[in-house]
Structures are given as C-alpha cells and as structure tokens.
Amino acid sequence: YATVWIEEVPTAHIDYTKYTCSIATGEVFVEAICKNANGMKICAEASFEGVPMGNAEATVIGERAFFALKLNEVHLWDIGQGNLYDLKLSLGQDEVKSYFGMREVSYSNGGELKLNGKTRFWRFILDQGFNPDGIYTYPDAEYLEADILRGIAMGFDGARLHQRVFEPLTLYYCDKHGYAVWG
C-alpha cells in the first residue's frame, strides 16, 4: 500500500532522477531521464539551509542527461546529522524539487561497513512497516516522524525496511534525522 496521486506534467518533463555523491571531490552526479526533451537543457541548483551551493546544466540526449554539480561546501550526512541539500531541477516548463545527502557507504577488505570512510558498528531495528493506527500507512507526517524519533531515542542508528516500498516521505524523514535506511 502506498499513497497514489495524479500530477499534470508538461509534454517535456523530468521523469526520474538518480544522485551519486563523491565526498572526495565535493560533487553530486545527476542522472536524469527526461521525456520528450531531446536537445533541451536541464538545469540544477543546489542549496544548503537556504544558501546557494552550486549549479550545473546539461543537454538531454535522447531521454538521458548526465552531469556533475560541484558544491561550494561539503556538509556530510552522518548518523544523527541529517545534513540535506535541496535541489531544484528545471527543464523547460517542468520544475522538480528534490534533496540529497552527501554520504558514501563502502566495505573494507575485512568486511567492515564504512560510512564516509569511517568504520561503524551499526545498530538497526527491523521495521516491518506495520502501524497499529493505519496498518501499512501512517495517519500523518507527525506520527511518522515521532516513530523515527522513538527509534533514535532507543539508541538505534537506523532501520532495515522490510519487504515493501516505503513512501518518499518516510525516506525524507529518516534522512532529515540522520537515521539510516537499509532496504
């Protein structure tokens, strides 16, 4: 179960985006799938807490655009520090607002899981997605955020989300509070 909505979009529009961060270079790499936009320019503007952090643009080739956006400052997302950048993408009349966190997850040769280059011992809870007041959905955003804050108060770093697609709002609140999500 998930929220469903209908949204009117221009003929030329952004259909899908993916962000990959490099904390070493201070860049976010943007991949955008755009419909009916071959040859058009896609523009991106990043900000952190309302302060402009950089911009970039690219030309859509076929249905795809790839580009790197260099950030003026790097604010790492970490456990308990949900540093998020706002991102505005525009393509003709279409405008998409999104966000990303500058973080890198890696494994060492010994199998240690690292976040931003540092080995961590992770304390996760298994989130089955059940909610007594809404079965598989939260009654409102405040209830969702309170559930995440309860996990943090109990000493957990994040949650392993179990066998279902969670709503984007769930992922946003986890990111905002520096609460890791493992799917």
pLDDT in tens, 166-175: 677 888 888 8
- Span 90-117, mean pLDDT? 92
- Joined tokens for residue 53: 């952090």
pLDDT in tens, 20-39: 999 999 999 999 999 999 99
What is the value of pTM for the model shown? 0.85
pLDDT in tens, 62-92: 999 999 999 999 999 999 899 999 999 999 9
Match 């007041």 to its residue by tokens: 133
At residue 168, φ and ψ (nearest 5 deg) are -55, -30
Residue 163 has pLDDT above 80, yes or no: no
Helix pair angle (168-176, 141-153), 10° resolution = 40
- Fill in the DSSP letter of residue 98: E
Structure confidence at residue 98 (pLDDT): 96
Structure confidence at residue 121 (pLDDT): 84
Residue 110 has pLDDT above 90, yes or no: no
- Joined tokens for residue 45: 């503007």
